Amino acid sequence: MARIGFIGLGNMGLPMAANLVKAGHAVAGFDVVKPLTGKLSAIGGLAAETIAMACGGADAIITMLPAGEHVRNVYCASAGVIGAAGAGALLIDSSTIDVATARDVAARATEKGLAMVDAPVSGGVAGAQAGTLTFMVGGPDAAFARARPILEAMGKTVVHAGGSGNGQAAKICNNMILGVSMIAVSEAFLLAEKLGLDAQRLFDVASKSSGQCWSMTSYCPVPGPVPTSPANRDYQAGFTAAMMLKDLKLAQDAARAAQVVTPLGAAAAELYGLFASHGHAGEDFSGIVRFLRGA
């Protein structure tokens, strides 16, 4: 049993913290939205009123926050995690943020003698609830070894992606593939439709051929071939277009900083930007197929 501070009890954080409670850990949670801490105490955790209260005496502190600016603020502010954590506490940031902020905050933690890993997730809210998330972890070997058993209480797959920031790098590279492949699969199904080729027939061929990919076989953007895909429930998310846009923008920021040419990643970011700005931000990202049909 470990004492864990958990900061950011939103759509992902609360079910993740709940799984830590279920695994027998003592979890003290903090969120700027006070009722969320009440939800944690209702299921056996402790409601902390400040970051310092969540961090006091904790063996590990986990954050699950919206974006890089929140992470920088929560860790580096004068009443933040780095100041409040006890000697020897392990810091785990599971938010999806830019690589540069992840590396900078980890360096500041290291300066204070604290071990830190970035550990963004894939699997969404359903994965957070079921405890089946995939964690992509960046940080030193020793910190990864300490983080692994804690992450295993919230996920099924835990991969060490290398040094600090590499968890974020793995996440945005994966999601750039996902955004591009979802558009590619959507375009193919739309072309098939116009050519008089039935969606199920295209699926039967392409799912067994070189066009096969996750966006088609697990998350097909047209109704029918994959019964569990959001296309069969009017594109209710799932993984929202807003989340996809966030990750594609992070990938583009990283590509610019690293001077890497990613024309398809750039086009995907632009298309998801248009899709989101036309009132579809809260829709599942596979709904881009309807947007492309109308575009």
Distance CA 90, CA 94 (A): 13
12 binds ligand NAD (CB under 6 A): yes
- Residue where the block lists tokens 């990613």: 262
192 binds ligand NAD (CB under 6 A): no
Distance CA 15, CA 189 (A): 36
57 binds ligand NAD (CB under 6 A): no
Q: Segment contacting ligand NAD (CB under 6 A): 69-77, 200-208, 221-229, 262-270?
A: 69-77
Pick the closer one to ligand NAD by CB: 64 or 90. Answer: 64
For ligand NAD, the binding residue among 36, 82, 178, 220 (CB under 6 A) is 36
95 binds ligand NAD (CB under 6 A): yes
For ligand NAD, the binding residue among 4, 5, 8, 151 (CB under 6 A) is 8
- CB of 247: closest distance to ligand NAD in angstroms? 7
Minimal CB distance residue for ligand NAD:
10
- CB of 128: closest distance to ligand NAD in angstroms? 8
Distance set, CA 121 to CA 13, 132, 161 (Å): 11, 10, 12
Pick the closest to residue 133 from 125, 122, 144 (CA basis): 122
5 binds ligand NAD (CB under 6 A): no
The SS3 of residue 49 is coil
74 binds ligand NAD (CB under 6 A): yes
Distance CA 172, CA 170 (A): 6
- CB of 101: closest distance to ligand NAD in angstroms? 11
Residues in touch with ligand NAD (CB under 6 A): 7-13, 30-33, 36, 64-66, 70, 73-74, 95-96, 121-122, 124-125, 239, 243, 246
